[in-house]
């Protein structure tokens, strides 16, 4: 069965580029287009698409207003937001994700039309496959019903291969570290986890969310309004403090280094992408494993790909405790699935129990 898509954009050029990009993908049918938000809602009612590509900045009725109207009318189509790489675009995109958009793409604005088309197609293909998989899983879960509420269960354990290298133990003057890696579906997942963490967690929380520059600062501000902990976009050279949350800046890498007294110092670098990501979860996890082994709990939440698994292998050498979000509550069960399959996860839990698992690990002591 083909994936039925409605394309919404206020410019003829982008409606054509997005339509052509989608038309070149197998199993995808463009069922219509719309030039503004009001027309988009009418077309959704008439055409019942599975997915809508939605321009976020439109006159008359913008993408945020469309998503709010969809919520009121209970239109069930998934939404992929197309955003500009600007501060306003970032703020609106974060709001769209909070309103339930599946994911977002920044509009390509450089190069020829053919290059922009290829860029869009490359971005859309894995996203649409992930959306289809989520739709199929939710349909299956709906058919099976839910006889009992989801419970936290131990992950299957697989032995780490090879001899364990010696672990460097250094003087540690900072708080324990909570490490979170997340991608597609991340803003919604973080908005569930962070407000559930207590103000006296007594750990520093370091987060890598796959996002470009100018998107993570509004995300940090939004999360900070909901959380008892202080949430900021991380700054180069600052010291990680207990009961504070540091979000890796979009388009940069974040790692940790030991200060002169053993404190945790955040380093923001322009090092290359890893796993196609910048910031990358593996980049942060690896630095913690090397600099502060045995002082962290790590959580892998919803997202495409396998970023975080290699870093968790190193963290587990230092006896890091690890948590993965379960398949039923993930927007995309890619990153958690890969970590579970690699045997580097101690506990698998639904989203609404991730915070409790983190708090318990911190309270019991990070090795």
Q: Domain residue spans in the chain?
A: 3-144, 153-364
Q: Is the pLDDT of residue 367 over 70?
A: no
Q: Is the pLDDT of residue 109 over 90?
A: no
Phi, psi of 108 (to 5 degrees): -70, 135
Q: Pairing mode, if any, of strands 253-258 and 264-269?
A: antiparallel
Q: Is the pLDDT of residue 143 over 60?
A: no
Find the mean pLDDT for residues 58-85: 91
**Least reliable range by pLDDT among 33-42, 54-63, 204-213, 340-349:** 54-63
Residue 46 region by backbone torsions, left for phi larger than 0, else alpha for psi between -120 and 50, else beta: alpha
Q: Tens digit of pLDDT for each residue in 314-330? A: 999 988 999 999 999 99
Percentage of residues in the chain having pLDDT higher than 90: 73
Say which of 307, 326, 329, 361 is annotated catalytic: 307
Q: Is the pLDDT of residue 170 over 80?
A: no
Q: Is the pLDDT of residue 133 over 80?
A: yes
Residues whose CB is less than 8 angstroms from the CB of residue 352 and which lie 6 or more positions away in sequence, other chains included = 192, 196, 329
Architecture of the domain made up of 153-364? 3-Layer(aba) Sandwich (3.40)
Q: Are 357 and 347 in contact (CB under 8 A)?
A: yes
Phi, psi of 182 (to 5 degrees): -155, 155
Do the domains spanning 3-144 and 153-364 agree at the CATH topology level? yes
Percentage of residues in the chain having pLDDT higher than 70: 90
Location of structure tokens 């180069």: 236
Q: Is the pLDDT of residue 150 over 90?
A: no
Work out the pLDDT band at 243, boundaries 50, 70, 90.
Answer: very high
Q: Which residues are paired to 256 by β-bridges? A: 266
Q: Is the pLDDT of residue 364 over 90?
A: no
The domain covering 3-144 belongs, at the CATH homologous superfamily level, to: Response regulator (3.40.50.2300)
Work out the pLDDT band at 159, boundaries 50, 70, 90.
Answer: very low
69: its two tokens: 């109207």
Phi, psi of 248 (to 5 degrees): -60, 130
Q: Is 10 exposed, middle or buried (0-12, 13-18, 19+ CB in 10 A)?
A: middle
Note the pLDDT of residue 249: 98
Active site (annotated) includes residue 183: yes
Say which of 55, 83, 123, 183 is annotated catalytic: 183
Residues whose CB is less than 8 angstroms from the CB of residue 260 and which lie 6 or more positions away in sequence, other chains included = none
Q: Pairing mode, if any, of strands 103-106 and 78-83?
A: parallel
Q: Tens digit of pLDDT for each residue in 68-80? A: 999 999 888 999 9
Work out the pLDDT band at 113, boundaries 50, 70, 90.
Answer: confident
- Count CB atoms within 10 A of the CB of residue 12: 10
The pTM for the full model equals: 0.88
Find the mean pLDDT for residues 99-104: 93
Q: Is 64 exposed, middle or buried (0-12, 13-18, 19+ CB in 10 A)?
A: buried
153: its two tokens: 């269960």
Active site (annotated) includes residue 307: yes
Q: Tens digit of pLDDT for each residue in 4-41? A: 999 999 999 899 999 999 998 999 999 999 999 999 99
Q: Are 330 and 295 in contact (CB under 8 A)?
A: no
Q: Is the pLDDT of residue 154 over 70?
A: no
Note the pLDDT of residue 163: 47
Say which of 210, 227, 287, 326 is annotated catalytic: 210
**Mean pLDDT computed over every residue of the chain:** 89
Work out the pLDDT band at 251, boundaries 50, 70, 90.
Answer: very high
Note the pLDDT of residue 268: 98
Note the pLDDT of residue 76: 87
Note the pLDDT of residue 89: 85
Q: Is the pLDDT of residue 151 over 60?
A: no
Q: Is the pLDDT of residue 148 over 60?
A: no
Identify the residue with better confidence: 170 or 223.
223
Note the pLDDT of residue 161: 44
Q: Tens digit of pLDDT for each residue in 255-305? A: 999 998 889 999 999 999 999 999 999 999 999 999 998 889 999 999 999
């Amino acid at each position: 069965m083909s994936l039925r898509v409605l394309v919404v954009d206020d410019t003829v050029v982008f409606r054509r580029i997005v339509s052509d990009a989608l038309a070149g993908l197998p199993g995808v049918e463009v069922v219509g287009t719309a030039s503004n938000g009001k027309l988009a809602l009418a077309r959704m009612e008439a055409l019942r698409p599975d997915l809508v590509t939605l321009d976020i900045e439109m006159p008359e009725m913008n993408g945020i207003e469309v998503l709010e109207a969809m919520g009121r009318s209970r239109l069930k189509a998934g939404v992929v937001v197309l955003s500009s790489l600007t501060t306003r675009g970032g703020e609106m995109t974060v709001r769209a994700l909070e309103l339930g958009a599946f994911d977002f793409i920044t509009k390509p604005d450089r190069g020829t039309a053919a290059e922009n088309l290829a860029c869009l197609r490359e971005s859309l293909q894995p996203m649409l496959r992930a959306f289809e998989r989520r739709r199929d899983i939710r349909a299956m879960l709906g058919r099976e019903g839910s006889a009992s509420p989801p419970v936290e269960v131990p992950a299957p354990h697989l032995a780490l291969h090879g001899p364990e290298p010696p672990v460097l133990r250094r003087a540690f003057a900072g708080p324990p570290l909570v490490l979170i890696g997340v991608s597609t579906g991340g803003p919604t997942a973080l908005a569930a986890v962070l407000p559930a963490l207590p103000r006296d967690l007594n750990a520093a929380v370091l987060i890598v969310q796959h996002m470009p520059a100018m998107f993570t600062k509004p995300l940090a501000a939004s999360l900070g309004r909901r959380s008892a902990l202080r949430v900021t976009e991380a700054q180069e050279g600052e010291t990680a403090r207990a009961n504070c949350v540091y979000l890796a800046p979009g388009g940069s890498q974040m790692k940790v280094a030991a200060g002169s007294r053993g404190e945790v110092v955040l380093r923001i670098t322009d090092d290359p992408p890893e796993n196609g990501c910048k910031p990358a979860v593996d980049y942060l996890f690896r630095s913690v494993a090397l600099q502060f082994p045995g002082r962290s709990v790590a959580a892998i939440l919803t997202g495409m790909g396998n970023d975080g698994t290699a870093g968790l292998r190193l963290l587990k050498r230092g006896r890091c405790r690890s948590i993965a979000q379960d398949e039923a509550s993930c927007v995309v069960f890619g990153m958690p699935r890969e970590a579970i399959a690699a045997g580097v996860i101690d506990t698998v839990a639904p989203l609404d129990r991730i915070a409790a698992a983190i708090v318990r690990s911190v309270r019991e002591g990070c090795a």
